[in-house]
Amino acid sequence: MKPIRTAIIVFVFWTIVVGGIYPLLMTGIAAALFSKKAQGSLVVKDGKVIGSALLAQDFSTDIYFHPRPSAAKYDPTNSGASNWGWTSSDLKKAYDQRKADWLKSFGPGEPPMDMLFASGSGLDPQISPRAAEAQVKRVASARQLGTDKEAQLLSLVRSFEEGPQLGFLGEPRVNVLALNLAVDKRFPK
């Protein structure tokens, strides 16, 4: 009977430590050292939460820069990829439709790959600098900006380009929500 009693005591002890004390400790440390990130990196405008810097938002009007396509339809409660493999006819249809839409909006030329394929989570908040820069003319036109303001818009886009994390992890990127907020502030609708 003693080994069973010992096993139960060890089980209860580690359940309390790993299932309760450790998560509370980590949550407390995160809240103390990284409070904005620990709260979801929420973006507040005019006293109202409008999104998270960590999640893609569905910007579909021409006055805004558009994010990557989302298999989750930008719903954080339903994040995930489509799980379509390279031989999937659904993936081919989605790719062809996205490419046709891009070419219709932006004219000839190869679209940035991140605008043709949904992200793994369906919620990636960034796009490539090339994808952001390619959208400058459309956004400038929709906001009725002149040529000089279009150049300022391109400069603004470039100021939001982030390099790879730690200088070598990943690709350069632009956070779409942060960029669109800056565009609203600099070039009001």
**Domain boundaries in the chain?**
1-38, 40-186
pLDDT of residue 51: 85
pTM greater than the 0.85 cutoff: no
Distances (CA, A) of 85 to 73, 121, 155: 19, 15, 38
- Chunked into runs of 10 residues, the chain (189 residues) has average pLDDT values of 90 96 93 82 85 87 94 81 87 94 90 91 91 96 93 96 92 95 92
54: left (phi over 0), alpha (psi -120 to 50) or beta: alpha
pLDDT of residue 86: 85
CA 114 to chain centroid, in Å, comes to 12
Are residues 65 and 115 in contact, defined by beta-carbon separation less than 8 angstroms? no
pLDDT of residue 52: 86
Are residues 47 and 94 in contact, defined by beta-carbon separation less than 8 angstroms? no
pLDDT of residue 20: 95
pLDDT of residue 41: 82
pLDDT of residue 82: 79
Per-position b or e across 148-184, b if 16+ CB within 10 A of its CB? eebeebbebbeebbeeeeeeeeeeebbbbbbbbbbbe
